[in-house]
A = this chain, B = another copy of it.
Amino acid sequence: MKKVKATMQDIANQAGVSKTTVSMVLNNKDSSISDTTRKKILEIAEEMNYIPNSIARSLSTNKSGTIGIMVPDITNPFFSEIARAIEDAANKYDYNVIFCNLDNEIVKEDKYVKLLVSKLVDGVIFITGGNSDKSIDILKGNNVPFVFVDRYVKGYEQYYGVYSLNKEGMTEGIDYLYRNNKRKIVFVSGDPNLGVSKLRYEGYKEAMEKYGLYNEELIFEGDFSLDGGKKVTKDIIEQIKDFDAIFFSNDLMAIGGMKVLVKNGYRVPEDVGIIGFDNIQIAEMMEPGLTTIGQPIYDMGKEACELLIGFIHGEDNNEKIIRFKPKLIVRDSV
């Protein structure tokens, strides 16, 4: 009882024309087709609930109308917010998006990249910052365009990408902390293999040195997650007794850290001021509200997608690199 999907041929038969003609009117390349023919075809297509087989279309055009996005973990609000923005923009141009969770595992990345080129994706967006050289070679070898978001990939700093001005963000944060009489400012770096981590660290260092406050013992390292934040904060309160603020490299860590702090009797912000980075939606909901260096997350995703699509369409006149200026969002945690 399988209802077979209608094809252009079916429509053509019904209408008494060739499938060439059907194809032309259904794709609006019908400047030369007579109105009666066009109308008839459109009616029949409608009536048959015709849905084009875009796989067949892809095979002949070599375009799939889908893009891939590589994220460490869609569960991380920063990435889901970017993914959302990308999907919105993609949808606007009638693209679909396939998402891939990498968990920073190179084997997954490798597998996914191949899957994506095998599916003829028209482009891919990397929000990973890892060691993607091999993936990138594969993409290049198969002529699939890609752009980076948020996280630099070593050796590709000049490639298509959208980023934040990380250093500027850090100095804004440190300045603010300084103005609030914080002097012993611990810094929690993210994964040291990531370009962003290095940049944020450098921003911290320069700003602290400006005030003559830099001290290596104040530097810690965690991974960009709730658990990473918890773990590193436990280390901090064990190892140094004397600090009055912590600058976390992202909000998730800051949130995890705040929890550990209050559990251990610290008052935020009275005993210790907290700053995060990103301004994910939930930051505002914390108690106290998390002060943070806000990135325009949605816009970054959106721009990345539009950059990619422009690239796909061969618009070579665009800016290749877009940089956003992060902005201090003052709430109650310092």
Contact = CB atoms under 8 A, between A and B. Distances in A.
A228 B84 CA distance: 19
6 contacts: A54-B118, A55-B59, A74-B80, A94-B115, A97-B98, A259-B287
Interface of A is mostly: helix
The copy count of this chain in the complex is: 2
B87 A80 contact: no
Given A5-B142, A118-B54, A97 B99 contact: yes
Given A55-B55, A80-B75, A115 B141 contact: no
A272 interface: no
A17 interface: no
A100 interface: yes
A119 interface: yes
Contacts of A97: 98-99
Interface string A41-56: 0000000010111111
A101 B87 contact: yes
Contacts of A83: 74, 99
A62 to B, nearest CB: 9
A105 to B, nearest CB: 11
